[in-house]
Structure 1
């Protein structure tokens, strides 16, 4: 049986081109229809479709994927599936959605270097945008923006940067050029330099040589683990600001692991100041994961948050000279009350009716996860569910009268089955979208998912910048980011040339050692 072919993405966008809107420092995409599609991976073979969707994609709730399968929105080989459908080798899984793409910062990529004859392009990527299409991002990606704004097509990226990270991206404008540039990265002779802004007063210098490993692909969580891959990073403080209690830190990774700098900074106890994964009290507790092991239950984290509030209020009381009676009359300044509310809402006794399933935690981890790390992942998911509107357990789709009628008939059949078997499902509202969403504000009138306010611009990126990449043949440097303070800029100006020369010498030494190793192998 011939394999089902994918729908051409270009045809999807050509039929209904997404509209780009720039407003309040953000680049937004108006909602559009899109078909998510992928061929089955080997680890999916023999598993139910609903299980694969929930554990592998996890962009929406389990109740959504059940609903999408039952209504024919999610299909296998372009054919309707059921909750019992099993994924097999060669299967094409598709899910047609009314896509609500997250915004990115409005700054355009800065072209650092371009050589059309050689097919070389180097840009400074703003933080917030992924390089390639991934997850909910299709138009708000570096490659799409280069195509839309600079009319550049057929681009081949040679290095990678996290969505939240800014800085140097080396790109080939021809496939052969991309392969040539990429070869240096594959050989491991590229030296990379980063700048970060971290919490606290960083020591003068530190070197971390600790193995790390990815344990939750859905959240992108990487931890220090003895069975991880070897990773080494050198750090040096550039400046310290006592007002914000943050430091600007020079970072030089000697290996190239995912989230290496972020995890090693957390390990030292100085996480990147606005890192949503590795710096928050409500996920990691007051030590914020220092030492690479949380050993924190959610109950303990809640207790620490409340204790921080009590200490804050006592400090304010002391500063203001309040007596006990005045304190009783005034509300407490509970800095973390919102964090406590979010954790209790998503992880409390009643949360199972509203949040996404957590049965998959640890499913794709290459190492066995202790319960403390499972708790960390649960808290990270609680954070994300809240930022996504939390009500996404009620999301669904409608593409026209025929499909809406089909949805209605499926809902009637499902309700009848529940009544027949005497089920008392407290999740009924999650399936009965009309009664839940009709007449309510804040929902998309087309697909009923919650309309989330645009986040503050500073929450769309982290303070981590790939400032310079050096190879035996070239050296590309991005402009310094605007979040570096004056002290950090002075340090950079004073140390830049000497450090650059040292990096070049180090790269040349790597090449020399590589040549000597090859000669020894050929001679042996």
Structure 2
């Protein structure tokens, strides 16, 4: 063997050896993900009327970023990740919860190029409803129909992992490959279409986008909804992704259309049938709010602190006023304004809609986003203040990670009164039982139920 052969370049573009080498290196450097537990009893338990998850360590592993190289592991975590106190990262390094290439480190260990950095985080998932995930039908050609309770997200996201539809189907029901076709909000209940293979999921998604599948929802709205068929075709746009905030925007919104029909009312709330013809995010919730009848327990779109007294009807909401927010207590004891004056004040604070922008109001949503951010911050503070305490009144924390023990969600925080009731496609139709809050509408539901036209393909 000659020296030239012996030192043949493995990065040569034309070398088959190079390809094999890269594949081998890739396999060696592959980050192994821990397998999920197979026994549901290892994951789930019930307490105080909620489904809970035993706290567990979850490893987040990643290759070192370029900007991390040459810095100490403590500096990387304390400067790059600010969701925890600095002292936590010192303690985590000492306990071996932060590793490099599977080895324990000290705070002065230098991060090198291609290092695999792993952080074992002690996760506390929020509890969800005890209402079981219902299997409506398991069609032989690879489609699963599920009745999702409120409070459970579809995919693992944020603080939720095992308490998600996908993980529950895998661990409790034994399904492996799952491809959700329609995605419901965490707080929304009802029918979900889940493909058991990608081909079925793609076919169903094509039918959805081409409007060959008809969707029917039931909701409980605030106020007395008008009789007859009401159509809302206001365009909708995403205002703030991080806040999951969407609004009607006549100029920049995407075309949206929803049909509504009153089923019953008690004079305070109304059970309303909803048939969305398009599939925008939060479409039913946004259209109902615009009409002036938001879903009655919707924390996002039926929120006076954010939307003002009009609750966003006709796209109207007050300006953000930090001074007003800080001085609310000073107004206590002052006489109430006359209704006419209240209306005049509201009209003065109405933002320009997107079709009426001027130099003084380039973006009408800035005030709304500020109000929503302030409200979210307030809720987080209330949650911290409401942390569970021991018999001496000292806040309880986890003995493994010192995270506070958060209070359980209240029943009205587990779902909103919006239910995906029925889906119909070419030659098929499936529905779920109506939720308890919609029982009074059962006798009226057949009056509005969608009947496919025989001429439809």
Is TM-score (shorter-chain normalized) higher than 0.5?
yes
Aligned pair partner of 2:59 in 35, 39, 42: 35
Aligned pair partner of 1:386 in 369, 381, 384: 381
Q: Could you tell which deviates more after superposition, 23-32 or 371-380?
A: 371-380
Residues 500, 96 of structure 1: CA spacing in aligned structure 2 closer, same or farther, 3 A cutoff?
Answer: same
Residues 489, 17 of structure 1: CA spacing in aligned structure 2 closer, same or farther, 3 A cutoff?
Answer: closer
> 1:500 and 2:453 equivalent?
no
Residues 25, 197 of structure 1: CA spacing in aligned structure 2 closer, same or farther, 3 A cutoff?
Answer: same
The secondary structure found in structure 2 opposite 1:197 is strand
Residue 475 of structure 1, CA deviation = 1.2
The secondary structure found in structure 2 opposite 1:375 is helix
> 1:453 and 2:403 equivalent?
no
> 1:468 and 2:430 equivalent?
no
Tell me, yes or no, if the aligned pair for 1:53 and 1:65 is still in contact at 8 Å. no
Q: Could you tell which deviates more after superposition, 217-226 or 255-264?
A: 217-226
Instruction: List alignment gaps of at least 5 residues for structure 2.
Output: 1-21, 66-74, 337-361, 388-392
The secondary structure found in structure 2 opposite 1:484 is helix
Q: Could you tell which deviates more after superposition, 117-126 or 158-167?
A: 117-126
Following the alignment from structure 1 to structure 2, what is the Cα–Cα distance between the partners of residues 285 and 192?
31
In the alignment, what sits opposite 2:163?
Answer: 140
- Taking the TM superposition and a 5 Å limit, the aligned residue runs for 1:36-51 are 36=60
> 1:234 and 2:182 equivalent?
no
- Taking the TM superposition and a 5 Å limit, the aligned residue runs for 1:73-112 are 95-112=119-136
In the alignment, what sits opposite 1:326?
Answer: none
Following the alignment from structure 2 to structure 1, what is the Cα–Cα distance between the partners of residues 128 and 214?
28
Higher relative contact order (CA 8 A, sep 6+): 1
In the alignment, what sits opposite 2:213?
Answer: 190
Tell me, yes or no, if the aligned pair for 2:383 and 2:407 is still in contact at 8 Å. no
Residues 193, 9 of structure 1: CA spacing in aligned structure 2 closer, same or farther, 3 A cutoff?
Answer: farther
Following the alignment from structure 1 to structure 2, what is the Cα–Cα distance between the partners of residues 198 and 76?
53
Residues 386, 441 of structure 1: CA spacing in aligned structure 2 closer, same or farther, 3 A cutoff?
Answer: closer
Following the alignment from structure 2 to structure 1, what is the Cα–Cα distance between the partners of residues 117 and 245?
26
Following the alignment from structure 1 to structure 2, what is the Cα–Cα distance between the partners of residues 176 and 281?
45
In the alignment, what sits opposite 1:64?
Answer: 84
In the alignment, what sits opposite 1:221?
Answer: 245
Following the alignment from structure 1 to structure 2, what is the Cα–Cα distance between the partners of residues 168 and 236?
20
Following the alignment from structure 2 to structure 1, what is the Cα–Cα distance between the partners of residues 115 and 175?
34
Residue 119 of structure 1, CA deviation = 2.1
Of structures 1 and 2, the larger Rg is shown by: 2
Residue 142 of structure 1, CA deviation = 1.2
Following the alignment from structure 2 to structure 1, what is the Cα–Cα distance between the partners of residues 78 and 258?
38
Aligned pair partner of 2:48 in 11, 16, 24: 24
Tell me, yes or no, if the aligned pair for 2:40 and 2:171 is still in contact at 8 Å. no
Residues 448, 179 of structure 1: CA spacing in aligned structure 2 closer, same or farther, 3 A cutoff?
Answer: same
Following the alignment from structure 2 to structure 1, what is the Cα–Cα distance between the partners of residues 326 and 127?
31
In the alignment, what sits opposite 2:343?
Answer: none
Residues 389, 154 of structure 1: CA spacing in aligned structure 2 closer, same or farther, 3 A cutoff?
Answer: same
CA displacement, residues 27-70 of structure 1 (integer Å, 9 cap, x when unaligned): 111211113467999xxxxxx9889978xxxxxxx452766777
Q: TM-score, normalised by structure 1?
A: 0.63
- How many residue pairs get aligned? The number is 383
Tell me, yes or no, if the aligned pair for 1:219 and 1:380 is still in contact at 8 Å. no
In the alignment, what sits opposite 2:226?
Answer: 203
Residue 383 of structure 1, CA deviation = 4.1
Residues 177, 450 of structure 1: CA spacing in aligned structure 2 closer, same or farther, 3 A cutoff?
Answer: same
Tell me, yes or no, if the aligned pair for 2:386 and 2:406 is still in contact at 8 Å. no
Tell me, yes or no, if the aligned pair for 1:168 and 1:468 is still in contact at 8 Å. yes
Residues 452, 280 of structure 1: CA spacing in aligned structure 2 closer, same or farther, 3 A cutoff?
Answer: same
Following the alignment from structure 2 to structure 1, what is the Cα–Cα distance between the partners of residues 335 and 423?
45
CA displacement, residues 113-135 of structure 1 (integer Å, 9 cap, x when unaligned): 223x3222212111110111111
Instruction: List alignment gaps of at least 5 residues for structure 1.
Output: 42-47, 55-61, 313-366, 393-438, 512-524
CA displacement, residues 210-249 of structure 1 (integer Å, 9 cap, x when unaligned): 222223222211122231222111111111113xx11111
Following the alignment from structure 1 to structure 2, what is the Cα–Cα distance between the partners of residues 196 and 93?
47
Tell me, yes or no, if the aligned pair for 2:182 and 2:192 is still in contact at 8 Å. yes
Residue 451 of structure 1, CA deviation = 0.7
- Taking the TM superposition and a 5 Å limit, the aligned residue runs for 1:117-136 are 117-136=140-159
The secondary structure found in structure 1 opposite 2:220 is strand
Aligned pair partner of 1:443 in 397, 401, 408: 397
Residue 150 of structure 1, CA deviation = 2.4
Tell me, yes or no, if the aligned pair for 1:18 and 1:31 is still in contact at 8 Å. no
Residue 184 of structure 1, CA deviation = 1.7
Tell me, yes or no, if the aligned pair for 1:210 and 1:231 is still in contact at 8 Å. yes
Residue 110 of structure 1, CA deviation = 1.8
Residue 209 of structure 1, CA deviation = 1.5
Aligned pair partner of 1:278 in 301, 311, 335: 301
Tell me, yes or no, if the aligned pair for 1:155 and 1:173 is still in contact at 8 Å. yes
Residue 166 of structure 1, CA deviation = 0.7
> 1:287 and 2:310 equivalent?
yes
CA displacement, residues 426-476 of structure 1 (integer Å, 9 cap, x when unaligned): xxxxxxxxxxxxx94321111111111211223111100001111123211
**RMSD of aligned residue pairs (Cα, Å):** 4.1
